[in-house]
Structure 1
């Protein structure tokens, strides 16, 4: 099978339309269609099927696109092995939550722009569950996710996970409240009659809240759900409840952070890729930069 046709099929699986592939490759939709048709004849099976005015990959097309990732990565690795001076090139699709994008990905992208301009990065902001779903569907190449030590994410043998960094979290409460050091269950117990706030797009911090609250002997009343930590602080200032916040971030006037220990909740951030994909030079390069920046 022709490598360029495999690249075209893989691009079609990622971009979703022949027109998008044509624009990306500076060709025509007719050329893209001919390449896919020729590849289908070589494979001996249809690779695309109509879907309204567009096309989609058949099950065989999706399987071949999966193989194309491994094949093209192996070819790129071989090319670099034979010519170590060859420059990695390609487009990386990365999905992750905002903090990891700002703290880890953007510095790595700045380094890539200077040292490896042939490697481009496309960013999508997603919470972990959404990012991992897109990774499983091969809609992205890398997911930046998180979990909490008190709510660990389940292990998945289909992916490779690289720990980037971790951060302590604290309980955000009104600034006028007493600040007394105590184990986390005792701190939580002071707020058993308060409304509580958790993330609206993920269940991890809610699990942490419920775990510590159960140790304190009560079931927290989850009243508000917000994706934005800034909004959560606004709600605390307005007296609408309490919730978990990063212990190392600055707070608004009117908000204070109560340290938590025994147990101490920690958010852990990961770079996640599909198993067998780490050999693709652009992805390996980005993973190395993320690891270095997190050291």
Structure 2
């Protein structure tokens, strides 16, 4: 059912004449008559009947005109809601990794509740691969993801990626481990070649970084443990189960020492990702812009 035909029916109900309808919408009387005939066939009911030299709506026509007025109003409301520059409202689904949600998204949720009360954020915690799968399946609208400079994500032409922030990572080791002062990344890795290694249980990017650097240092790492929680990684290190990558700005627990990786550096790169064709949707555009602004302000210390 085309909304333009419904509009003709509503105008006929209002104006009472096909000629008046034609003049209002800028077409011919013949076209109005033909389109209303098509609408009647689609509905399987007579919508107009002769009344002298004019026409009038049948009871079915009047009822459909009532429905049409509601339908056209809803379509116009949807158009205004989705138009660029419209007041953001509705539900925005966001999937992302824990740090991005906790540090950057949740403060925005609080701000948006006050400034845009008709906008609701639905949050799901997922690692990058999981979040991107949800985005591809249209089960989320926005993905907060990360990769590493030594394990870059493959670009997807269907997706638009906005860079957010970068963060250096180091190697978490037992606090009593002996490490030469000024050791570069490969020397640090070489010093722990006999250790077990801990990697993420829900992603492969940090494992790729570890294997890459270990290969450059001349050995194959023995990856034996997996954990998604950074706190759990530290607990494993304290228990003597191995060593693993950790953000340099993370507070360490007693028993863990965080070694900088100075060359090659290990840098996490955070992104916000959306699908092309949807970037202009006001809720998505607003949250993307606010995340970019927030991370830029934190990077400059403002």
Q: Conserved in 2, the CA contact under 8 Å of 1:73 and 1:280?
A: no
Question: Cα distance, 1:76 vs. partner?
Answer: 3.1
- Structure 2 spans left out of the alignment, 5+ residues: 4-41, 44-75, 297-302
Hey, what's the Cα distance between the residues in 1 that align with 2:2 and 2:226? Answer: 51
Q: In structure 2, what is the equivalent of residue 258 of structure 1?
A: 259
Hey, what's the Cα distance between the residues in 2 that align with 1:183 and 1:119? Answer: 48
Q: In structure 2, what is the equivalent of residue 282 of structure 1?
A: 283
Q: In structure 1, what is the equivalent of residue 108 of structure 2?
A: 108
Q: In structure 2, what is the equivalent of residue 246 of structure 1?
A: 247
Q: Secondary structure at the match of 2:290?
A: helix
Q: In structure 1, what is the equivalent of residue 209 of structure 2?
A: 208
Q: In structure 1, what is the equivalent of residue 129 of structure 2?
A: 129
Question: Cα distance, 1:177 vs. partner?
Answer: 1.5
Question: Cα distance, 1:181 vs. partner?
Answer: 2.0
Q: Conserved in 1, the CA contact under 8 Å of 2:81 and 2:89?
A: no
Question: Cα distance, 1:73 vs. partner?
Answer: 8.2
Hey, what's the Cα distance between the residues in 2 that align with 1:73 and 1:225? Answer: 47
Q: In structure 1, what is the equivalent of residue 190 of structure 2?
A: 189
Normalization by structure 2: what TM-score? 0.71
Q: Conserved in 1, the CA contact under 8 Å of 2:81 and 2:87?
A: no
Question: Cα distance, 1:77 vs. partner?
Answer: 4.7
- Equivalences for residues 152-191 of structure 1 within 5 A: 152-179=152-179, 180-191=181-192
Q: Secondary structure at the match of 1:224?
A: strand
Question: Cα distance, 1:104 vs. partner?
Answer: 1.4
Hey, what's the Cα distance between the residues in 1 that align with 2:287 and 2:186? Answer: 40
Larger radius of gyration: 2
Q: Secondary structure at the match of 1:147?
A: strand
Q: In structure 2, what is the equivalent of residue 118 of structure 1?
A: 118
Question: Cα distance, 1:178 vs. partner?
Answer: 2.9
**1:175-217 Cα distance to aligned partner (Å, 9 max, x none):** 1123422110110000001111100110000000011101100
Hey, what's the Cα distance between the residues in 2 that align with 1:158 and 1:74? Answer: 24
Q: From the superposition, tell whether residues 237 and 141 of structure 1 become closer, same or farther in structure 2 (CA, over 3 Å).
A: same
Q: In structure 1, what is the equivalent of residue 55 of structure 2?
A: none
Q: Conserved in 2, the CA contact under 8 Å of 1:172 and 1:233?
A: yes
Q: Identify which of 64, 76, 81 aligns with 1:76.
A: 81
Question: Cα distance, 1:269 vs. partner?
Answer: 0.7
Q: From the superposition, tell whether residues 72 and 168 of structure 1 become closer, same or farther in structure 2 (CA, over 3 Å).
A: farther
Q: Conserved in 2, the CA contact under 8 Å of 1:74 and 1:279?
A: no
Q: In structure 2, what is the equivalent of residue 89 of structure 1?
A: 89
**1:87-135 Cα distance to aligned partner (Å, 9 max, x none):** 3211000001101101111111111111111110001111111110010
- Structure 1 spans left out of the alignment, 5+ residues: 4-40, 43-70
Q: From the superposition, tell whether residues 73 and 247 of structure 1 become closer, same or farther in structure 2 (CA, over 3 Å).
A: farther
Q: From the superposition, tell whether residues 72 and 254 of structure 1 become closer, same or farther in structure 2 (CA, over 3 Å).
A: farther
Q: CA RMSD, aligned part only? A: 2.0
Q: In structure 1, what is the equivalent of residue 269 of structure 2?
A: 268
Hey, what's the Cα distance between the residues in 2 that align with 1:125 and 1:76? Answer: 28
